[in-house]
Structure 1
Amino acid sequence: MTDFNWTQLQNGSDIRGVALEGVAGEAVNLTGGRVTILGKAFGTWLAQYLEKSSTTLRVAVGRDSRLSGPALSEAVTTGLTSLGIAVYDVAIASTPAMFMSTITEGFDCDGAIMLTASHLPFNRNGLKFFTKKGGLDQPDIQAILELATVNQFEAIAPAGQVTQRDLMAVYAGQLVTKIREGVNSQHNFEQPLQGLKIVVDAGNGSGGFYVDRVLQPLGADTRGSQFLDPDGLFPNHIPNPENKAAMAAISEAVVANDADFGIIFDTDVDRGAAVDSAGKALNRNRLIALMSVIVQKAHPGSTIVTDSITSDGLTTFIEQELGGRHYRYRRGYKNVINQAIALNQAGEESWLAIETSGHGAMKENHFLDDGAYLITKLLVEVAKLQEQGKTITDLITNLQEPAESKEFRFKITDPDFKTYGLQVIEQLKIFAEQQENWQIVPKNHEGIRVSCQSPEQNGWFLLRLSLHDPVMPLNVESNVNGGVEKINIQLLNFLQNHSDLDLGAFKNP
């Protein structure tokens, strides 16, 4: 395996690859043998990081519902135990629960590994790594892959022992306690969700536990919940709160079952979204607004860190309605989380870091991006508001939402796509400065964001370079019908002069 390019498996702060055949043109590169080596590499890295002998370490291993999960879980466990590391096999779990295994009494693991590829197709899989300080960052993954490349590990006898543990029961119990104490009902402390009908869509991923281990013990009526059973083929829809079909499925389930609230998770439950009683999606800007309300109640004036594509109306809501500060940063959930941590270290309180994708992390929860925790926080408000005869959507009545919002993705055909993309952005800055009623937004941390202030446009656009791919995403929003098209027409005067950008549907809708 010395000729294998291990760097192809790095996906930011995760490892991802093709684990199963079945998709044309996608050769398997995340084999059992390679995952065993990755287990050895992580175990070696962890021992060095903690300055401990590997024989004293304990690591939890979990997986989502993917078909390749059991085999790869066994493979990574083989790698770990060959170094004398004790392993807790927790079977199907959520990614946030894997981190909690490192800081929860009774587990107290030195590290944890989650086998998942989030919402990617059935043939993909990957590994996420944790220590007690949280998820690993890009340099850590690079170091692990360097160890895998060298592949010089000495087996230690006896091998580490493997113990089966039910992590999800403990993790779910923590969420149950959080809701009971958060609602603190004087009428029914043990079952504060009694009288509420709540429908869950787990998308056949790992999130089905939330029904029988969280909602039902709290008294909720969960009839109508769907796709709870793990199925790595994901036969019903992509488990992704950003996916239109997925959100339509949970919205339809809420309406069909006359439910009070709907919940949807991605495959490994580090992301979540909700639906109100009318079937209206509470994701993206609405989810951020709701979480901002909750945070500002507890921590007035807190800075809310988001990714770069949030709406102007959200900024107005956070800053003028709630009295907080909105800090737009770069795309990538780790970027957003790390920026919030950096702000706190610099003396600026930030209690929420959240992407429009549904990745949300709270300071009170170790800045762990945990979809189930965010939903749990929402449910506390749902229960409190029910006692007042109100609904969760009442909290964001004054959130201004765009009339139109679209995203376009331009493929870059120039081989040196990063240099080319950055040149396009610099040239667009010059073009934008020459346009009447266009203004470049200051304090922008990614690409170029332009405010389009004419009455017929009344919106904004952001052009940026993708984090990993030869693609330039363009997000365009307008507060008036037809405004996106007007912005696009003006933008086309610039974009059509760049032959290495594939404008596709943007040019010919």
Structure 2
Amino acid sequence: MTSLKFGTSGLRGLVTELPDAICRAYTVAFLRHMHKAHGIAPGGKLLVGYDLRESSPRIAAACIDAARIFGMEVENSGPLPTPALALRALAQKLPAIMVTGSHIPADRNGLKFYRPDGEIDKTDEVGILDVLDLAGADDSTPDDAGAISAKALTDYEKRCISMLAPNALAGKRIGVYQHSSVGRDLIVRVLGALGAETVAIARSDVFVPVDTEALRPEDVTLAAGAAEKYRLDALVSTDGDADRPLVADETGAFIRGDSLGLLTAHFLNADAVVTPVTSNTAIEISGLFAQVYRTRVGSPYVIEAMSQATKDGYLRVVGFEANGGVLLGSNVELDDGRLFALPTRDAMLPIIAVLGMAARDKVPVSKLLANLPARFTRSGRIEHVGPSKSGPFLQALLDDEQRASFFAQLGTIQANDAIDGVRVVLATGEVVHYRASGNAPELRCYAEAATDARAEQLLSWGLQRAEEQLRKYS
């Protein structure tokens, strides 16, 4: 048995299951599939980047070595945000591999693959597995990974700075929760270039698994303390590979990721929004967008629906996930130029959009949601719940009688769907949603209500109720 598999965003598994030979095998399989399905022949160029996990440089070196032996020229982009690598891959029409486990713990890591036109899709995943040769994997020690190129990081930094007018953030004091985010120094430079005074906080030499959908108590405490201590206008951060944002207002209260996405789409004047079923229903209730597309959790599904939105004739297509990562499906005209499409999760776009909106409207960050429908979401997870437990649990909830019995304490069920896991809408309009994580052995629970306190209450109930039922599958 192995935990190594394709999930909602790339290949993920335990570091112990990603020795050099396995990393080489997946790299070669990716390149073989690129050659077979997308015409990428040996002799071309491959981009490789990585995050700040202890295991990432070693895994990247194995990927680079395998690609060179395959016959590819490799541009080692070094440690950088995933969207920075994706931006260069799209601009240069090159395949790319990002070594990252995103937000999951340091004992895990992964590979995220990009075609020359963007993220691989589920069909590509099947194609890679079809040509994967683990038996013949090369287990030799990789050669030196070579000099690091700053081109991808430099181009991405310029893109971020171009999102607002010069000095748009002048007079603002922004805290940057650095921890082990690969974008920690980039954020400081970009916000400084836009006129903000930045305060770097809590830099870590040890990897910190910051999950923007399930914040740790210490993250919440840090934000509140920093906001007061440094008199901040906002505090910002990202997950490990800087494709999921964190934004706290002037009080240190974090804004939910789906609310960040909604605000960013509004800032960009989107006519169509694409988001998974885990995002809150304020998106539809607000009436800000001509069309809202709902998908399963995972960037491949969001990207697929963004493509459909474009085919349907929408011109300003913005996708986002409940984790806050924003995918730009269309070129967008801004006051100071054009922002080109970047259909992969990006943390800097929502960070800059929210800070820019607050500065433009001359309001505190906490007031940006004041005119939007009052819908509050909370999410949590039960760790160490593999498919052998989450599968039967979710399957039972698909049965009408078992589902009604499970949720009886909360009242009558108005509607339900199985787009991704099991999502229930109660007669009150409140929502409880369960799904198995695609990245780790976890069962995730999402709750939505008209008040934050009620959403927290529903989440607490949902996690406790699930834990009770999961004991049956031990």
With the length of structure 2 as denominator, give the TM-score of the two structures: 0.82
Higher mean alpha-carbon deviation, 86-95 vs 133-142, is at 133-142
- Name the CA shift for 1:428/1:484 in 2 (closer, same or farther; >3 Å): farther
- Name the CA shift for 1:421/1:470 in 2 (closer, same or farther; >3 Å): farther
Q: Which residue of 2 aligns with 1:282?
A: 255
Q: Distance in 1 between matches of 2:63 and 2:97?
A: 9
Q: Deviations over 1:184-235 (max 9, x none)?
A: xxxxx4x33222211111321201232443122222211x212456x3x22x
Q: CA deviation at 1:275?
A: 1.4
Alignment pair present for 1:96 and 2:104: no
1:10 to 6, 16, 37: 6
Q: Which residue of 1 aligns with 2:227?
A: 254
Q: CA deviation at 1:16?
A: 1.8
> Quick check: 1:413–1:500 contact (8 Å CA) kept in 2?
no
Alignment pair present for 1:33 and 2:17: no
Alignment pair present for 1:217 and 2:163: no
Q: Which residue of 2 aligns with 1:121?
A: 105
Q: Which residue of 2 aligns with 1:241?
A: 212
Q: Deviations over 1:44-72 (max 9, x none)?
A: 222233324301x1011111101112221
> Quick check: 1:85–1:161 contact (8 Å CA) kept in 2?
no
SS, match of residue 54 in structure 1: coil
Q: Distance in 2 between matches of 1:434 and 1:451?
A: 10
C-alpha RMSD of matched pairs (Å): 3.9
Q: Which amino acid aligns with 1:460?
A: V
Q: Distance in 1 between matches of 2:472 and 2:201?
A: 45
Q: Distance in 2 between matches of 1:495 and 1:153?
A: 41
> Quick check: 2:89–2:96 contact (8 Å CA) kept in 1?
yes
SS, match of residue 121 in structure 1: coil
Q: Which residue of 2 aligns with 1:134?
A: 118
Q: CA deviation at 1:324?
A: 4.1
Q: Distance in 2 between matches of 1:199 and 1:151?
A: 49
Q: Which residue of 2 aligns with 1:361?
A: 327
Query: Which protein has greater RCO, CA pairs closer than 8 Å, 6+ apart?
Result: 2
Q: Which residue of 1 aligns with 2:335?
A: none
> Quick check: 1:251–1:262 contact (8 Å CA) kept in 2?
no
- Name the CA shift for 1:80/1:192 in 2 (closer, same or farther; >3 Å): same
Q: Deviations over 1:361-394 (max 9, x none)?
A: 1223232211112222233323323xxx323443
Q: Which residue of 2 aligns with 1:271?
A: 244
Q: Distance in 2 between matches of 1:18 and 1:493?
A: 29
- Name the CA shift for 1:350/1:404 in 2 (closer, same or farther; >3 Å): closer
Q: Which residue of 2 aligns with 1:306?
A: 275
Q: Distance in 1 between matches of 2:372 and 2:230?
A: 27
Aligned pairs for 1:338-349 within 5 A:
338-347=304-313
Structure 2: runs of 5 or more not aligned: 331-340
Q: Distance in 2 between matches of 1:135 and 1:486?
A: 35
Q: Distance in 2 between matches of 1:406 and 1:212?
A: 29
Q: Which amino acid aligns with 1:196?
A: K
Q: CA deviation at 1:354?
A: 1.5
- Name the CA shift for 1:79/1:383 in 2 (closer, same or farther; >3 Å): same
Q: Deviations over 1:310-360 (max 9, x none)?
A: 3344532x22xx354444432233323322322332345662221212222
Q: Which residue of 2 aligns with 1:422?
A: 395
Q: Which amino acid aligns with 2:307?
A: I
> Quick check: 1:410–1:472 contact (8 Å CA) kept in 2?
yes
Q: Distance in 2 between matches of 1:278 and 1:409?
A: 29
Q: Which residue of 2 aligns with 1:226?
A: 201
- Name the CA shift for 1:349/1:114 in 2 (closer, same or farther; >3 Å): same
SS, match of residue 101 in structure 1: helix
Percentage identity across paired residues of the two chains: 20
SS, match of residue 232 in structure 2: coil
With the length of structure 1 as denominator, give the TM-score of the two structures: 0.76
Q: Which residue of 2 aligns with 1:377?
A: 353
> Quick check: 1:439–1:450 contact (8 Å CA) kept in 2?
yes
- Name the CA shift for 1:428/1:353 in 2 (closer, same or farther; >3 Å): farther
Q: Distance in 1 between matches of 2:462 and 2:103?
A: 35
- Name the CA shift for 1:81/1:397 in 2 (closer, same or farther; >3 Å): same
> Quick check: 1:308–1:445 contact (8 Å CA) kept in 2?
yes
SS, match of residue 192 in structure 2: helix
Q: Which amino acid aligns with 1:345?
A: K
Q: Which amino acid aligns with 2:33?
A: W
Q: Would you tell me which structure has more strand in proportion to its own residues?
A: 2
Return the index of the structure with the highest Cα Rg: 1
Q: Which residue of 2 aligns with 1:398?
A: 371
- Name the CA shift for 1:53/1:208 in 2 (closer, same or farther; >3 Å): same
Alignment pair present for 1:334 and 2:300: yes
SS, match of residue 17 in structure 1: strand
- Name the CA shift for 1:308/1:428 in 2 (closer, same or farther; >3 Å): farther
- Name the CA shift for 1:281/1:408 in 2 (closer, same or farther; >3 Å): closer
Q: CA deviation at 1:267?
A: 0.5
Alignment pair present for 1:81 and 2:68: yes
1:445 to 391, 402, 419: 419
> Quick check: 1:77–1:87 contact (8 Å CA) kept in 2?
yes
Aligned pairs for 1:58-69 within 5 A:
58-69=45-56
Q: Which residue of 2 aligns with 1:22?
A: none
- Name the CA shift for 1:247/1:151 in 2 (closer, same or farther; >3 Å): same
Q: Which residue of 1 aligns with 2:96?
A: 112
> Quick check: 2:11–2:112 contact (8 Å CA) kept in 1?
yes
Q: Which amino acid aligns with 1:438?
A: T
> Quick check: 1:254–1:262 contact (8 Å CA) kept in 2?
yes
SS, match of residue 31 in structure 2: helix
